[in-house]
Chains A and B, each alone.
Chain A
């Protein structure tokens, strides 16, 4: 058999377990834990012998629990339509303190089995059950033929209407905490304390005389009244809060709904109520509403809310009464806003780590095919004298006709690697010796062709700590010896992303410059890293060549002229006519008017040796005058969410939810206009 629990009947829920399901109910008595109570009127606490509990389910059936003694339970189920009934008894080894029931419905066989749950005085954490197996088909027909609607409850926003002397605002229970209206599922006291003290029901309690019916809230032409009366001889002292709802189109004298709430106002913390909140929940589809007061106990800020029984007619009348309110219902009555970040952004993609390359290769300088010697001026003179002497020429290899055929280039560079090794100078496989001796003439030579030079750091701190630090308002360029002036991305410098792809908490960065230089040709690459991550690479060339032959010299001059043609002087481009206005302009207009100045030509090669050999950054930022007290006149950009009280000074809102205010529509419009147009908080 496949069972299902009958969870609800209208607004009433039934007892059920989380460990037993209808399909695995034991055949015999046995205790079970994890009971979920149903709500009144079926679920009942038992106190005396002879107690009779009867629940008439409208025209469908009657459930009767009768305790002949505290340990003997007789239960009767009667189908009203047919008059058929099923009765059974059960005896317990201890006093019965609570009874409840549910139906296990077998859709396959079309039977409904009443399951009785009862709790014993010596088993307060567990429950027993008994299953009734009589006329179960009749019960099935009765239940399946008339199951009342299931409700989906949503909190009602607020009341409005013709406010007069007294105002009582509603709090709003969160939709997620409505659950089974029999009890409040949760509730944060701060949510219910959103109303001002003057408009709370508790303030009215302190200011309304006993025994006087007082109008406290309105919904369109309808109103709600409160009458406070002392419950005689109550201990602890108890006040009855009687709420009456009137719809004058039905009757101005007879209320459509009455709710009595006895409230202990003295006594210990567990009993004493220190505040009360009023709310409604409704189901638009079923056109039903429930009045949902919530008590605030002093003990640990405990909220206790429950709904007393409403007939179907009462639920409909309350629903119609609420809908008379001109305020209507908010689209999202006090749901927690989602942390909407505009779409569904995922986690930032972690960045790849990009290093400055290291070229630890000889680049052909240690293969004895060519050798790069680093010579002082005196050594050059000595070697030059030797190269054009008969000592060298006579000993030159026969395949070389003259000295210049083995001298490939003579280059001047501004850098010298440290700790160069030395060896005898040789050309065309002829070794040079110290004059007058046979000692080898040793000179420094380069073994690593590519030389990495650390060119220092610059710690960049944005000046304004605002959007003025970024493009297009600020800019940054770099002058690089051997390269020229290059643009950098100020956004990447002012606030570079973390390696995990997120933005850092603070702006600023450390810019580091490296050069890797080809010692043979003078070709270089300038590497710019930001916070240790390589970001820019610019090619260039340093050094000048000293021609060793007439052909060399001609080629060198031609190459220089070609490379530098057209690059004399500075060129300005861009810019716009200044606007004819007397007022100060925002930063965007200023920046758009500025021409783009070209600060350098080709500083590569020979020109690099004549220009500055120190790299530097060119930082351009706007100048903002200090407007004393601007925060009180225009405020500063926010675009943050919060409650109105979270803001201060001059504040303009994009939008505010003011639906919960206990004011007229005209006042609401006035308030919203001021909040959007600029309010001083």
Chain B
């Protein structure tokens, strides 16, 4: 089976859905599998004069999938590529349409800061402040003067 491979240098986290790559260093390879291959963990040997040890990612067009790649040196210019499917990136275009309920997120409009799940860390010290009531633009008070009131029988 004829296949087209693209070897890449991925500089993203494994759990990032859309990977980013070092620009302008991709290696395009075409060839034919000499033996049966797993769709999820293909492993094969290739000949290349390029230094493939610097590459960690592979896209196989015919499989429609992307793979994390580990490279072994078999001989000079003979490399063994061990691939493990990156399902998250391979199906990212479909995953974005899947419905779900999120526990944590960074999307501002999807954050609910009033849900108490321990996400916010606080110091031991607290802030204690004091605030007067305001009446007619001044601090409200009962009054500083003492007024005398005499209760008299009759009158």
Q: Which residues of A contact B (CB under 8 A)?
A: 163-165, 167, 169, 194-199, 337, 368-377, 380, 383, 405-416, 425-429, 445-446, 453-458, 463-468, 470, 473, 481-482, 511, 513, 515, 519-520, 542, 546, 578, 584-588, 590, 593-594, 609, 613-625, 627, 631-632, 634-658, 660-664, 666-668, 670-671, 674-675, 677-681
Contact = CB atoms under 8 A, between A and B. Distances in A.
Contacts of A513: 133, 140
Contacts, number: 388
Contacts of A374: 147-149
A467 B142 contact: no
A618 B130 contact: yes
Contacts of B63: 165
Contacts of B23: none
Contact of B154 (A199, A428, A519, A614): A428
Interface stretch (B10-18, B42-50, B70-78): B10-18
22 contacts: A164-B39, A195-B94, A375-B148, A375-B150, A408-B153, A412-B148, A427-B153, A427-B155, A467-B115, A593-B124, A609-B146, A623-B125, A624-B123, A637-B115, A639-B101, A639-B103, A644-B98, A647-B107, A651-B102, A652-B102, A667-B85, A668-B87
A515 B130 CA distance: 20
A512 B132 CA distance: 11
Interface string B115-155: 11111111111111111111100011111111111111111
B16 A638 contact: no
B148 A370 contact: no
A466 B114 contact: yes
Interface string B87-114: 1101101111111111111110011111
B87 A670 contact: yes
Contact of B113 (A425, A615, A637): A637
B138 to A, nearest CB: 8
B27 interface: no
A578 to B, nearest CB: 8
B97 A643 contact: yes
Contact of B90 (A428, A446, A578, A667): A667
Contacts of A627: 121
A638 B121 contact: no
Contacts of A680: 12-13, 15-17
Nearest to B148: A375
Given A647-B107, A653-B103, A467 B148 contact: no
A202 to B, nearest CB: 15
Given A473-B122, A619-B128, A648-B107, A642 B91 contact: no
Contacts of B148: 374-377, 380, 410-412, 546
Nearest to A623: B123
A656 B135 CA distance: 55
Contacts of A429: 154-155
B102 A638 contact: yes
Given A412-B146, A414-B147, 18 more contacts: A370-B152, A377-B148, A408-B152, A411-B151, A412-B148, A414-B143, A414-B144, A414-B146, A481-B142, A513-B140, A590-B122, A624-B122, A625-B122, A636-B106, A638-B107, A640-B105, A679-B15, A681-B17
B154 A426 contact: yes
Given A467-B120, A646-B107, A663-B90, A639 B102 contact: yes
Nearest to A495: B114
A647 B98 CA distance: 11
Given A406-B154, A407-B152, A639-B102, A167 B147 contact: no
Given A465-B113, A638-B115, A664-B40, A413 B147 contact: yes
B24 interface: no
The 4 closest A-B pairs by CB, nearest first: A649-B106, A456-B140, A635-B104, A371-B155
A674 B89 CA distance: 11
Contact of B103 (A511, A586, A632, A638): A638
B62 interface: yes
B75 to A, nearest CB: 31
B31 interface: no
Interface of B: 1, 12-13, 15-17, 39-40, 62-64, 85, 87-88, 90-91, 93-107, 110-135, 139-155
B152 A406 contact: yes
A373 B87 contact: no
A658 B95 contact: yes
B14 to A, nearest CB: 8
B153 A415 contact: no
A118 B132 CA distance: 86
A619 B129 contact: yes
- The secondary-structure label for the interface of chain B is loop
Nearest to A482: B142
A584 B133 CA distance: 35
A415 B104 contact: no
Most buried by B among A454, A513, A622: A622
A679 B106 CA distance: 11
Nearest to A413: B147
Nearest to A411: B149
A414 B148 CA distance: 9
A649 B107 contact: yes
A408 B22 CA distance: 95
A641 B112 CA distance: 12
A374 B147 CA distance: 7
Contacts of A470: 114
Given A456-B133, A638-B105, A621 B144 contact: no
A464 B114 CA distance: 10
B142 A415 contact: yes
B77 to A, nearest CB: 29
Nearest to A620: B128
A624 B121 contact: yes
Nearest to B144: A613
Nearest to A405: B153
Contacts of B40: 664, 666-667
Most buried by A among B17, B130, B144, B147: B147
A203 B141 CA distance: 78
Given A643-B97, A679-B15, A638 B104 contact: yes
Contacts of B126: 590, 594, 620-623
A389 B129 CA distance: 56
A302 B12 CA distance: 41
Contact of A641 (B15, B64, B99, B118): B99
B127 A372 contact: no
B132 A614 contact: yes
A614 B141 contact: yes
Contact of B152 (A426, A482, A643, A646): A426
B72 to A, nearest CB: 23
B103 A416 contact: no
Contact of B122 (A468, A546, A681): A468
Most buried by A among B40, B116, B133, B154: B133
A668 B94 CA distance: 12
A646 B134 CA distance: 45
A586 B118 contact: yes
A627 B123 CA distance: 12
A616 B132 contact: yes
